[in-house]
Structure 1
Amino acid sequence: MRHLSLATLLVVLVFGSRAWAQEAAAPESVKPGINDSFLDPDLDVEAYVKRFEVESREVFAARSEIVERMKLSPGDRVADIGTGTGLFVEPFSEAVGEKGWVYALDIAPRFVERVEKLAEIRSLNNVTPVLCGQDDIRLAPGSINAAFICDVYHHFEYPQESLASIHKALEPGGKLVVIDFNRVPGESREWTLNHVRAGKEVFRAEIEKAGFRFVNEVEVPSFKENYFLQFERK
């Protein structure tokens, strides 16, 4: 019985230590629950279309300016990270041309399904919808030369891990564009202060720490609440 007890104890210690190691290695969310609604299998996609694709939303109204300032070239391979309803998929498809490619990524299966149908209906043959993870964009190393994150970075629950996967997917010298909301206490509206976890300086520092070089802040004349930052993969 003594030997059986020792063996049992050994099993408990081994598996217990493995479970502890896995738990210790698991990344910690910086904003738990912020993406719960997108992961709902009954997500009402049309409700988000009405919410996202309206002139009152800055990035929708400025979508042509944004794509122009991205300076994409024919043959580019761009990842639209957090594509949502697919607002930028068609403009990106046109910008990169037949020899380029657009990866439309989202964590919401219903959004990915919508983009797949959108690409089929509009004959966007250079678009691949991708169901990505909450901490990994799930693209092959060096598979893209541009990454686009629009009104989505503040939804990154695991920014360090997500940025590492973006860094890996970008080829050296590839561009990363981040558009998000200015969060300034005393100036920004209450929704922004409650919803967006940090301001531009914090987000920029996180991105630079992940191996990106800050290039510049691009001016978009129509922006009042948003900013446009451009980085380069080291």
Structure 2
Amino acid sequence: MRILVVEDNVTLANGLAAVLRGSGYAVDIVGDGASAVAVLATERFDVVVLDLNLPEMDGLDVLRTMRARQNNASVLILTARSAFEDRVKGLNLGADDYMIKPFDVGELEARVRVLLRRQAGLKAATIAFGDVSFDQNSRSFSAGGISLDLPAREISLLETLFLRAGKVVTKQSIIESLAGFDDDLSANAIEQYVSRLRKRLAPHGLTVRTARGIGYYLEKTQSS
């Protein structure tokens, strides 16, 4: 899952990015509204954490431009503006959630998880496919009640496939979900992650199939 943090306070932006990356998300940062609009025009994100008081362009104008361009990424407004009118305006423009600074980082993480579930059309925090379950709050997988010990990149890859189980996910979509601006993640690297994931899933009745020339999809290998 990929997140864009739009925040001109460098210390806060870097702190947020560190926390979210620690949870396994691919996170990018931009520090002004104009850069946010430019990035959002060419890159896909699942969630945008958006400050309102930005250089170059106000955060509400960034949001207005996003929605005018039919960009449906979930938007969490994070701002020092506490006026009721600002909150109403942001929500009316298409924001999905609103937090006032100062804020609790744990609460922000929880709200991001809710937005990601909503993006995937899911209501429950825990979902299952075959014998494998995914707890979206802890971003952990288990089978038969036993935790699957997966490296961070493989968790992100399996999460991307799990939330679209049975549907083909293109290689490019996978790369975009797993990599930030500074990550050099190639199609060959994705193939290596897929190969490792197949071995880990084999005992649990799931596999990652290849849609030749397109991407990958998660499939059951045995009735569950």
If the TM-score is normalised by the length of the shorter chain, which range does it land in?
Answer: 0.3 to 0.5
Larger Rg: 1
| TM-score, normalised with respect to structure 2 | 0.34
| TM-score, normalised with respect to structure 1 | 0.33
